[in-house]
Amino acid sequence: MSRNAESTAFRSALEVVRGVEPRVADAIAAELADQRESLKLIASENYASPATLLAMGNWFSDKYAEGTVGRRFYAGCQNVDTVEALAAEHARELFGASHAYVQPHSGIDANLVAFWAILADRVESPALRKAQARQVNDLTEADWFALRRELGNQRMLGMSLDAGGHLTHGFRPNISGKMFDQRSYGTDPATGLIDYDRVAEAAREFKPLILVAGYSAYPRKVNFRIMREIADSVGATFMVDMAHFAGLVAGKVFTGDFDPVPHAHIVTTTTHKSLRGPRGGMVLCGPELADQVDRGCPMVLGGPLPHVMAAKAVALAEARRPDFADYAQRIVDNAQALADGLLRRGATLVTGGTDNHLVLIDVSGYGLTGRQAEQALLDSGIVTNRNSVPQDPNGAWYTSGIRIGTPALTTRGLGATEMDATAELIHTVLSQTTPGTGPDGAPSKAKYVLDPAVAESVGKQAADLLTPFPLYPAVDLT
């Protein structure tokens, strides 16, 4: 697509929107301006390509398409079949999976599809068999009682939230923590690393139906071969949630023992984050679980979003290009350069560094909570998010950590030199921020004090750092 074509496409779209609700058009334009001016370091965010963005704004949005390719509950889905089949094909080829299900609307939807597919495959229940055979009207009250009891008492072992796991891996307030009798494994208190012997010990003691691996704030690789061996030793289904690092798998940065697809029974992911696609989810599995996974709609999902599946097809096609592998490697190189820059300036990092796309700073070394650090950085033009650290004394709301990641800035073209400069800006803000007090004069976990002149200076330096790396340079909305 030419530069002129991209500008024309987005300007025209905003002009049409402005004719109906100008405040929405203004908010869209303002969001682009904000993203262009901020150092985006949120590990779970990225910038989708113009082609991916444009693929979402079309007539596919008007279609209902429950079912799967060739087996829809609505007529007139032949074009939806085309884009869904293309997205699944690209996903299979990209990740080396035998089956791909691209309908999930989000990562949690993908995980729910996987959980229920595993339950349906593993739990012996006449009531479940009736439900799967669509004989729902034949289920008695006793059948429903048995179904709830059998499916609700299964066990899952996943990574704890404060160790870097995700809330959908059994965090009690999440539906995953209510569906399962759940237990968590953590990390070694001294190193912050997964202790596989302890995971194996927990699995032998707990005997879970599902062993979940994957993370949202663990800055190291996971050995999926060892995790599969642990799962096999207790007869568990091994599930990997690779939402955060899917781009590193797609780009062949994570291979062998660190590629989950050859080792897991089932793999879930989002399609944004390091994969640089639209917001959505996806499930990969072998043939033994394919039929259950394809029942995601209506088992868990409502109607698929055909316009998002179209965008997934575009993004996955982009990820199959040779330059994506270079991009994925630069993500890791940048994260390690950022970590090195922070360490040299005295910051404390969980696990002492990173092997992937993210860095977790323990800001208690600066005398701050994660919430104070997050807001002080935001005041200075640096967008991050607070995050728990292992054994976090401040809990999941205030936290003691800041999670930063490099996928977005790598998309813009920043490299190691800019990562070191970014580390300097982060250190400047955190070292110049002090805890504030509440109305009663007591220390506050939320209030903070930062000289506005420091915030303004850092914000200007951040903007200057980004100037040579324009975001969507082909898009001019003026």
For 213-229, the pLDDT digits (tens) are 999 999 999 999 999 99
- Mind giving me the DSSP string for 166-205? -GGGT-TTSHHHHHSEEEEE---TTT-S--HHHHHHHHHH
Q: What is the pLDDT of residue 310?
A: 97
Q: Could you read off the pLDDT of 272-331 as tens digits, one per residue?
A: 999 999 999 999 999 999 999 998 888 888 889 999 999 999 999 999 999 999 999 999
Q: Residue 398 has which token pair?
A: 């205030």
Q: Residue 449 has which token pair?
A: 């004090």
- Mind giving me the DSSP string for 258-285? G-STTT-SEEEEESSGGG---S-EEEEE
Alpha carbon 207 to its chain's center: 28
Which among 229, 233, 335, 232 has a CA at the least distance from the CA of 274? 335
List domains and CATH numbers for the chain: 59-319 (3.40.640.10), 322-466 (3.90.1150.10)
Catalytic residue positions? 64, 66, 241, 270, 273, 279
Write out residues in the chain with pLDDT < 50, as ranges.
Answer: 1
Instruction: Let me know: does 251 contact 324? Beta carbons within 8 Å.
Output: yes
Residue with tokens 């869904």: 84
Which pTM value belongs to this model? 0.92
